[in-house]
Structure 1
């Protein structure tokens, strides 16, 4: 199956998001990725829930919401009501991940678990009834000029061989470019979240084509 590409709106030009959505859909994006950050788990605050609600009528593409926040349970019903199809929470921010993933699934969305680069991925077999995808971050969140960390990719390769994890979708998020996308695909990733490499110079169609060609 071809590698799926989920452009991240955190890197998109905010005043033109309606046009961006149309361009991404025309360029063959597989889903739209939203980072929701609370300024506590991460150093800054980014997209909130209202923008998800405002953009939902513009496309049928799946909306993939990555919650980089502590105690995310309170926001889950709102996200689901606004049309989030996939919601991931951070392992580091959830003392009881099974409970949170179960809540996401009960709201009608796919549930995912995200891991920062420094966090090893433990045995997740006890989450199997609810866990649909695993997000491996390959940059440090909000680090200026954050470099891609290829060493982290071994989590994907090893994780796909682990009991109860191989059936999950594996997502790589952070620093993805046309120069490293084939390396990511080789370790078995199913989806990449791509930010700057999609939106650079405003050439969405050309940049998406370059990523597809390099994968």
Structure 2
């Protein structure tokens, strides 16, 4: 597969700029590429974000000079020229705003301020760390942010593909996959072992009746309160 090296450099630059804006330090190129394989990311997202960083998906201008396929350059929802950034954050007629609003609503129980995802933030979310006013790194909050941003971005892409390929209409019901996706991603064992304490810290302040959870709540999908976002 031929990759657009200029587009790759541009995407890496945007990710590094946004990380610098939110974290106060600009990561090296090596650290950025390593972050795309973060252990908190699902396998499908790792491939998706690697392809996105390389501008490897066939969207927008890719189709402009291909005879009889020029129409594919335009967004199926709004008719504007399509790009991954347009799909994930810009289109005014797709449901990406719904997905991001559900994500932000799920975060509301946390004390740390939500970082509104832009294209650079999505590319670099594996490098974002939530640091409180005392300078303490909140590992659970950082993990939840990575999981929610990565799963939301991939869901938006998946719903877009279903609309383009299958002609499937995106509905709020489809958007409700977000809760399940985040729960499954966060409770997947790392290297064959599930760190229950880390999982609990991930969902701390975001769970329904968290003080009265059963001993084995990790096996019960109904405890998630993505429900703040109307997903009950």
Please give the TM-score of this superposition, normalised by the length of structure 1: 0.28
Compare the two structures and name the one with the higher helix fraction. Answer: 2
Compare the two structures and name the one with the higher strand fraction. Answer: 1
Please give the TM-score of this superposition, normalised by the length of structure 2: 0.26
Larger radius of gyration: 2
